[in-house]
Chain A
Amino acid sequence: MLIFFSLNSIVNAVASGYKATEEDFVRWENAWDSLIPPGTYDFVPKDFHFELLFNPTFQSQLDEAGKVIDPSLEGQSVEIAGFMVPIEVRGEKVSQFLLVPEAGQCIHVPPPPLNQTLLVDTTTAPTPLRDLYQPIIVSGRLSVGSQSFDIADSGYSLVASEITTLNLGEDMIPVVPGADGDR
């Protein structure tokens, strides 16, 4: 009879989520890449001396490259996986959040560039608040607009049509070949 209980608690506790395949990961990576207009990073030389990294002109070029967005993506449907940074939370649901490619960026790590950030609007169908490190899959229509008076700050926004939690099983966590020790 205690089997009943273990079953119950497992059913309640197990995170149901979409199990991703290799193709999915490639697709999502391409989606993030597609947000950067082709040729933006062409100014980075193939082999460069480490001094270049300390060059303030190069650094500011990198900063500027992060702001370049592609207006031709307007209206395109996209499916992309990332992490949620909640902005507007109502109760246990989120009605507006930023989607970023890597977790933890908002806290103490340099922030993602503007062209790798999506402002997702879920006001019509608020989605559950997830942990900052819980990957999710977002599908919707992209809109490339000016979000503010300052044109330099216009960026990508998305009205989400579907949001799914991504279930990253143990075997999906990438391991460097030849590395030993704990994953």
Chain B
Amino acid sequence: MFRLAMASMRSRLVAVGLVIVALSASMALLLTVERIQQATKSGFNQSLSGVDLVLGPRGSGLELVLYTVFHLGKPTNNITTATVLDIADDPMVEWSVPVALGDNHRGFRVISTTDEYFDRIKFGGDRPLVFAQGTTFSNLNEVVIGSEVAEALGYTLDTAIFVTHGSEMLGELHDDFSFNVTGILAPTGTPTDRAVFVSLEGYELIHLGWKNGSKAVSLENLDIGTIPKERLFPKTVTAVYLGLRSKLGLFKFTRKVNDYPEEAISAVIPGVALAELWSMVGTVDSVFQLLNWLIIGISIIGMVTMTMTGLDGRTREMTILRALGVSPPRLACLVLLETIIISLTAVLSAVVLVRLLTLGISDLLGQWAGIRIQLTWLAANELMTLMIIVLTGLGASLIPAGMVYKRSLHRGFAN
């Protein structure tokens, strides 16, 4: 039976081939889009961990989380370090890590912070940041870079770099002061891999000689050993990551921050900001899902159409088979078997296609948001989805199978 079906299909190879391509492409589309959605959500959700609140200038909490944690968008305001120190003194605060953003190094964000960043900021649930090489910065002219920065630009320990002012690659270079790489972080699959870390004081230093956004005084001949570090403590920073002593105090503390009289600041719980993000994109997700299923429906219709119209051209084939003693039910099964072969071939090629597509898209995603997604062959629920599609196709091909059955009952040897 199987060989019969294969031989029959081989004679109609072009049509069958096209149907397989359409079916497998639509299945691949469905699975890939679903994977990307899930992986993106997962990737975002586990980029930051261990931080109870992100405190920044008053405004959208979601925006704050997006530009501090994910380097998406630009900060528009700063908060004063006087306020930061005052908040850090609050008995409910266990630790605080300020961050200042604004510069970039060849497209990678420069984050100026304290070295406590590497102890406090975790990812992926509770995994700490680990140094693959070297250690944290201690002098003014030292930087720590993420794994992707090192890989993409070929940096090793002791490489000297300059940073550019602003968040675009095209900007004025702080070329009067070079930084040494003292540490390279191990890969995390989060935006940290694409970041360059400097000390608050080092960042402040390179902006000292600047007026109105461009260099007025050069630091080239400055002996940095002569500068006391305390003088370089910045007056403003972009945001602060906070850890509280008790999670139950979160609401009370947030209200305190929002009511802070000295400055317009607000605090956001990272998990809440992300939940807001997902609820916003949720409707778009549903629309994509619907479109995907429609495309699959169209492909299956294509398959059934091909089979049905093909039946007219196969009357001779059917007649010969009847003459050889193949009963009408078996003829109908032949048609169903063809559908199964087509569907399963489409499934196999879809799995391969999905793997290739996710590979390509994950690269793009990594570059855009610094998220790395896991690549797998096939998950259990994906297999179920594919089987539902195969069964639906089978169900749909009962129509042409039924047609074959009826015709071969009535027509007999008529041509």
> CA A129 – CA B246 in complex, angstroms?
22
For residue A14, give the distance in angstroms from its CB to the closest CB of chain B.
12
Q: Does A1 contact B (CB under 8 A)?
A: yes
Whether B45 pairs with A131 at a CB distance below 8 angstroms is no
Contact mask B7-47 → A, CB, 8 Å, 1/0? Answer: 00000000000000000000000000000001001100110
Q: Does B276 contact A (CB under 8 A)?
A: yes
> CA A149 – CA B92 in complex, angstroms?
9
Question: A136 — which chain B residues lie within 8 A by C-beta?
Answer: none
> CA A95 – CA B274 in complex, angstroms?
15
Q: Does B128 contact A (CB under 8 A)?
A: no
Question: B309 — which chain A residues lie within 8 A by C-beta?
Answer: none
Most chain-B Cβ atoms within 10 A of its Cβ — which of A92, A95, A156?
Answer: A92
Contact mask A2-22 → B, CB, 8 Å, 1/0? Answer: 101100110011000000000
Whether B248 pairs with A155 at a CB distance below 8 angstroms is yes
Most chain-B Cβ atoms within 10 A of its Cβ — which of A1, A2, A119?
Answer: A1
Contact mask A116-155 → B, CB, 8 Å, 1/0? Answer: 0101000000000111110000000000000111100111
Stretch of A37-45, A49-57, A83-91 on the interface side? A83-91
**Pick from A8, A86, A155: contact of B275, CB under 8 Å:** A86
Whether B124 pairs with A117 at a CB distance below 8 angstroms is no
> CA A89 – CA B42 in complex, angstroms?
9
Question: Which DSSP category, helix, strand, loop or mixed, fits chain B's interface?
Answer: helix
Whether B61 pairs with A1 at a CB distance below 8 angstroms is no
Question: A87 — which chain B residues lie within 8 A by C-beta?
Answer: 52, 247, 250, 269, 271
Stretch of B161-169, B232-240, B290-298 on the interface side? B290-298
Whether B91 pairs with A150 at a CB distance below 8 angstroms is yes
Question: A105 — which chain B residues lie within 8 A by C-beta?
Answer: 251
Whether B293 pairs with A5 at a CB distance below 8 angstroms is yes
Chain A residues touching B, range: 35 or more
Q: Which residue of A lies closest to B398 (CB)?
A: A1
Total residues of chain B contacting the partner, CB 8 A: 46
Given the known interface contacts A111-B252, A153-B92, the answer about A9 and B293 at a Cβ–Cβ threshold of 8 Å is: yes
Whether B45 pairs with A88 at a CB distance below 8 angstroms is no
Contact mask B264-285 → A, CB, 8 Å, 1/0? Answer: 0000011110111011001000
Question: A9 — which chain B residues lie within 8 A by C-beta?
Answer: 289-290, 293
Whether B247 pairs with A147 at a CB distance below 8 angstroms is yes
Question: B296 — which chain A residues lie within 8 A by C-beta?
Answer: 5
> CA A117 – CA B392 in complex, angstroms?
48
> CA A60 – CA B237 in complex, angstroms?
34
Q: Does A114 contact B (CB under 8 A)?
A: yes
Whether A90 pairs with B301 at a CB distance below 8 angstroms is no
Q: Does A112 contact B (CB under 8 A)?
A: yes
For residue A6, give the distance in angstroms from its CB to the closest CB of chain B.
9
Q: Does A106 contact B (CB under 8 A)?
A: yes
> CA A88 – CA B255 in complex, angstroms?
20
**Pick from B42, B254, B271, B388: contact of A88, CB under 8 Å:** B271
Whether A129 pairs with B251 at a CB distance below 8 angstroms is no
Q: Does A110 contact B (CB under 8 A)?
A: yes
Question: A1 — which chain B residues lie within 8 A by C-beta?
Answer: 297, 300-301, 304, 392, 395-396
> CA A2 – CA B246 in complex, angstroms?
54
For residue B168, give the distance in angstroms from its CB to the closest CB of chain A.
31
Whether B392 pairs with A4 at a CB distance below 8 angstroms is yes
> CA A112 – CA B246 in complex, angstroms?
16
> CA A154 – CA B248 in complex, angstroms?
8
Whether B301 pairs with A150 at a CB distance below 8 angstroms is no
Q: Does B415 contact A (CB under 8 A)?
A: no
Q: Does A94 contact B (CB under 8 A)?
A: yes
Q: Does A176 contact B (CB under 8 A)?
A: no
Question: B276 — which chain A residues lie within 8 A by C-beta?
Answer: 107, 132
> CA A87 – CA B45 in complex, angstroms?
11
> CA A114 – CA B251 in complex, angstroms?
8
Q: Does B76 contact A (CB under 8 A)?
A: no
Contact mask B299-325 → A, CB, 8 Å, 1/0? Answer: 011001000000000000000000000
Q: Does B286 contact A (CB under 8 A)?
A: yes
Whether A132 pairs with B254 at a CB distance below 8 angstroms is no
Contact mask B38-67 → A, CB, 8 Å, 1/0? Answer: 100110011001001000000001000000
Most chain-A Cβ atoms within 10 A of its Cβ — which of B46, B249, B274, B275?
Answer: B275
For residue B403, give the distance in angstroms from its CB to the closest CB of chain A.
15
Question: B269 — which chain A residues lie within 8 A by C-beta?
Answer: 85-87, 106
> CA A111 – CA B253 in complex, angstroms?
10
For residue A155, give the distance in angstroms from its CB to the closest CB of chain B.
4
Whether B275 pairs with A153 at a CB distance below 8 angstroms is no
What are 19 sample pairs from A and B whose C-beta atoms fall under 8 A apart? A1-B396, A4-B395, A8-B388, A85-B250, A86-B272, A87-B247, A87-B250, A88-B125, A89-B45, A90-B45, A91-B42, A110-B255, A119-B248, A131-B279, A132-B276, A147-B248, A150-B245, A153-B246, A155-B246
Shortest 4 CB-CB distances between A and B: which pairs? A111-B251, A86-B271, A148-B246, A155-B248
Q: Which positions in A face B, CB cutoff 8 Å? A: 1-2, 4-5, 8-9, 12-13, 85-92, 94-98, 105-107, 110-112, 114, 117, 119, 129-133, 147-150, 153-157
